[in-house]
Amino acid sequence: MDKEFFIYVLISCIKILIVFGVIQFMIISMIWIERKVMAHMQVRLGPMRVGPHGLLQPIADGIKLLFKEDIIPERADKLLFVLAPAMSLVPALITFAVIPFGDKVQIFGYSVDLVITDINIGFLYIFAVGSLGIYGIVMAGWASNNKYSLLGGIRASAQMISYELTLGISLIGVIMLTGSLSLVDIVNAQAKLWNIVLQPVGFFIYAISALAEVNRTPFDLPEAESELVAGYHTEYSSMKFAMFFMAEYANMITVSAIAVTFFLGGWQGPFLPPVAWFMIKLSCCLFCFIWLRSTYPRLRYDQLMHLGWKFLLPLSLLNILITGLVMVLKG
Compute the least distance from the CB of residue 145 to another protein, in Å: 10
Give the span between the Cα atoms of 105 and 179, in whole angstroms: 25
- Nearer Cβ to another protein (40/147): 147
For residue 107, list its beta bridge partners. 110
Q: What is the 3-state secondary structure (H, E, C) of 238-256?
A: HHHHHHHHHHHHHHHHHHH
Q: What is the size of the binding site for another protein (CB under 8 A)? A: 29
- Give the interface segment with another protein, choosing from 15-23, 96-104, 114-122, 202-210 (CB under 8 A): 114-122
- Nearer Cβ to another protein (156/282): 156
Say if CB 220 and CB 262 are below 8 A apart: no
> Rule CB under 8 A: which of 70-109 touch another protein?
77, 80
Q: Give the one residue of 138, 172, 184, 189 binding another protein; rule: CB under 8 A.
A: 138
Compute the least distance from the CB of residue 215 to another protein, in Å: 15
Summary count for the chain: helices (H), strands (E):
14, 2
Give the span between the Cα atoms of 221 and 219, in whole angstroms: 6
- Give the interface segment with another protein, choosing from 13-21, 38-46, 100-108, 117-125 (CB under 8 A): 117-125
Instruction: Please report, for residues 38, 50, 72, 125, 295, the alpha-carbon distance to residue 188 in angstroms, rounded to integers and kept in the order given.
Output: 36, 44, 49, 19, 35
- x/- contact string, 176-205, with another protein (CB under 8 A)? -----x------------------------
Q: Is 201 helix (H, G, I), strand (E, B) or coil?
A: helix
Q: Give the one residue of 128, 191, 193, 276 binding another protein; rule: CB under 8 A.
A: 128
- Nearer Cβ to another protein (173/265): 173
**Taking CB under 8 A as the rule, does residue 48 contact another protein?**
no
- Nearer Cβ to another protein (129/243): 129
Instruction: Please report, for residues 24, 56, 59, 242, the alpha-carbon distance to residue 63 in angstroms, rounded to integers and kept in the order given.
Output: 15, 11, 6, 11
Give the span between the Cα atoms of 241 and 272, in whole angstroms: 38
Say if CB 136 and CB 130 are below 8 A apart: no
Across the chain, the runs of DSSP E, i.e. the strands, are 105-107, 110-112
Q: Give the one residue of 20, 127, 287, 309 binding another protein; rule: CB under 8 A.
A: 127
- Give the interface segment with another protein, choosing from 48-56, 123-131, 261-269, 323-331 (CB under 8 A): 123-131
- Nearer Cβ to another protein (158/288): 158
Compute the least distance from the CB of residue 152 to another protein, in Å: 11
**Taking CB under 8 A as the rule, does residue 134 contact another protein?**
yes
Residues 6+ apart with CB under 8 A from 163: 209, 212, 213, 219, 308, 312
> Rule CB under 8 A: which of 148-177 touch another protein?
150, 153-154, 157-158, 160-161, 164, 168
Q: Is 115 helix (H, G, I), strand (E, B) or coil?
A: coil
Which residues contribute to the site for another protein (CB under 8 A)?
Answer: 77, 80, 119-121, 124-125, 127-132, 134-135, 138-139, 141-142, 150, 153-154, 157-158, 160-161, 164, 168, 181
